[in-house]
Structure 1
Amino acid sequence: MAAAAVALLGISLVGCSASEDSASGAESATCPGGKIRFGILPYEDPEALGPAYKVLGDALSKKLDCPVEMIITEDYAAEVLAMENDSLEIAQFGPLGFVFANERAGAVPMVSFGDAKGQPTTYTAGIWVPKDSKIKTIEDLPGKTLALGSPGSTSGDALPMSALTKAGIADKVTADYAGGHPEALLMLVNGTVDAAQINSQTLETATKEGSFDQSNFRQIWKSEEIPNDPVTVRKNLPQDFQDAVKEALLGLEATDVEQVSAFLGVDPAGPLIPVTVDTYQPLFDLAKTMGLTEKDV
């Protein structure tokens, strides 16, 4: 009990439950403890994420006839710890965060976000500089400041740092962790750093919002394609529950997930699609190559 309480200290709740009318809350095979707790990493502004995930949670609640409590955690570490301590039944992780959630907390991937044709979707990490900057490639970054998202982020930390390491300049660049993808972008826009990581998801959101004008900046590095976030279920839950949740998620309409999909750079959105551990093998390989552990997440 003590460990579970510690895990919950790192979680902020969005509302009380995703649906109070569609389910009675009575405990059943598909409603352990009378509700389902669904964790989300704050990869964008939590105030913006909350309403989008409430739509998804409401739809899932109706499918399972069980209240779904959508929980935005403080960071990767809090989310993994919460699942490890049985404080989350379902959780969406970033691709790299999933690697350690799988190894440490038994997170089993069920679904990810598909496009309108039902195909898997991806995104990319990137490093951007002002248009008039003398920095032309990452090899020009030594002695410069680089805004990163948050420690352990796939596109906001691991992949950019991997690129700098491969270039032999990781220890010559001043990395400034901004606390999130939007915050890193803002540091570049405000001119407080020489360069910043901006992934394709944040780029699309900021461009649509008008907070980032691409014509004023240049991308000097771009990663290979990264599979989009998996939604996972805790491995130690009954198989009947795991199967029911996966079936319910795959049965959601595109309109149920389109607001969340938009944050992940998927537009137009399609329904959720099945994924497996193999989908994320490149991230397991990255963690091994970089010598990353859960302490880096």
Structure 2
Amino acid sequence: MKHLFSFKNMLLAIFLVILIFSLTACGNNLDNDNSSEQNAVNEKPFKVGVIPAQNKGNMERAMDKLENVLAKALDRPVEINIYSDYQGVVLAMKYNKIDMAYLGPLTYVQVNNDTGAQAIVTQLINGEPFYYSYIIVPKDSPLNSIDDLVARSKELNFAFGDINSTSGSLIPSIQFKKLGVYIDQENHKFKNITFTGSHDITALAIQNKKYDAGAIDSAIFNQLVKDGKIDGEKIKVIWKSEKLFQYPWAVVKQTDSETIKKVQNAFLSIKDPDILDVFGATGFTLAKDSDYDAIRKAAKETGRLD
């Protein structure tokens, strides 16, 4: 019996050793699986959608550089896509096709309302996070003020930018509504209304006298003049809005705080003129949702936000 007991003890010891090795192996495999999953997350591209602020060629060169800046900060691949219109970016964020978007203030409050996306960064113009809506006309136009424009509206072809643009559509349309010459694209007192789709197209159209007047983002207008893409001597500004808070970069609602901080720090570090110039910016600063309350109010007043 003594030998039998020893044999049983030996078998039990062997079994325990095998069990320990098995559990250790499983633990290692689990750790490897977790590590693989984490690596997979890190390798998944951080996708960014951008509205068309200027012509696509200029923006593509700048966005290639911005991809590198963000990829280094996040330690993962970054893909930035320039959409053909504002609505494309809105839908991409709404249906979780992108992680972050560069939006106009109007499109931001719409996306925030629909998805809970949050503004985290915006650009600085001469050290301030503000810009304006301009109404521009050819230099030799007899129009010298918005009152002149309203008085002669029935003779004029007017160009808005993108229909979802804050400075190129929302703000000037509110001003025209107050002055009694505009309700919407079908109900107005102009000879003709056009939406050009982008600020640079509007500027060139006014310079070339294709339209009598147009609405444009002040920062982009000034940058186009600075870069020689339009001739500032051939255009004059006849109206300037109140201050508007600059275009936000917004992340989807579920973005973790660590990622947000890394993205913010990456933007704050940007000094590359190729990136800054495409936005007419002198730098970047932090932004928050409440910065866009005035735009949110305007959007509600015009029926563009529930």
**Same fold, judged at TM 0.5 (above):** yes
Runs of 4+ residues deviating >6 angstroms: none
Normalising by structure 1, we get a TM-score of: 0.80
Answer yes or no: is 1:102 the counterpart of 2:112: yes
Of 262, 276, 288, which residue of structure 2 is paired with 1:247? Answer: 262
Identity score, percent: 28
Q: Specify whether residues 186 and 200 from structure 1 end up closer, same or farther in structure 2 by C-alpha distance, changes over 3 A only.
A: same
Q: Residue 125 of structure 1 contacts residue 198 of structure 1 at CA under 8 Å; is this kept in 2?
A: yes
The 3-state SS of whatever aligns with 1:28 is helix
Computed over aligned residues only, the root mean square deviation of the Cα atoms, in angstroms, reads 2.3
| Separation of aligned partners in 2, 1:258 and 1:32 | 29
For the residues of structure 1 that align with 2:87 and 2:65, how far apart are their CA atoms? 26
2:179 to 119, 142, 167: 167
Q: 1:130 aligns with which of 131, 138, 141?
A: 138
Contact 1:56 1:257 in 2 (8 A): no
Q: Which amino acid aligns with 2:249?
A: V
Question: Larger helix proportion, structure 1 or 2?
Answer: 2
Give the whole-Å Cα distance in 2 for the aligned partners of 1:94 and 1:86.
19
Structure 1 position 33, deviation (Å): 6.7
Q: 1:212 maps to what in 2?
A: 230
Deviation at 1:191, TM superposition (A): 1.2
| Counterpart Cα distance in 2 of 1:251 and 1:228 | 18
Q: State the Cα deviation string for residues 52-74 of structure 1 (Å, max 9, x = none).
A: 12212211111111000011112
Out of 185, 191, 214, the position equivalent to 2:203 is 185
Residue type at the aligned position of 1:140: D
Instruction: Give the number of equivalent residue pairs.
Output: 261
Q: Is the 8 A contact 2:50 2:82 kept in 1?
A: yes
TM-score of the pair, normalised by structure 2: 0.78
Using a 3 Å threshold, how does the CA distance of structure 1 residues 27 and 192 change in structure 2: closer, same or farther? Answer: farther
Going from structure 1 to structure 2, the CA distance change for 1:199 and 1:248 (only over 3 Å counts) comes to closer
Could you list the per-position Cα deviations for residues 199-243 of structure 1 after superposition, in whole angstroms to 9, with x for gaps in the alignment? 212222221232323233321111111111111110034x3xx43
Contact 1:150 1:180 in 2 (8 A): yes
Larger Rg belongs to? 2
Q: Which of 274, 285, 288 is the matching residue for 1:276?
A: 288
Q: Kindly state the Cα deviation for residue 257 of structure 1 after the two structures are TM-superposed.
A: 5.5
Identify the match of residue 304 of structure 2 among 282, 292, 296: 292
Cα deviation for residue 32 of structure 1 reads 6.1
Distance 2:267 2:67 in 1: 10
Worse-superposed segment, 34-43 or 105-114? 105-114
Unaligned runs of 5+ in 2: 1-35, 183-187
Cα 1:169–1:215, aligned 2, differ >3 Å: closer, same or farther? same
Is residue 59 from structure 1 mapped to residue 69 from structure 2 by the alignment?
yes
Q: Which residue of 2 aligns with 1:6?
A: none
Q: 1:246 to 1:75 in 2, by over 3 A?
A: farther
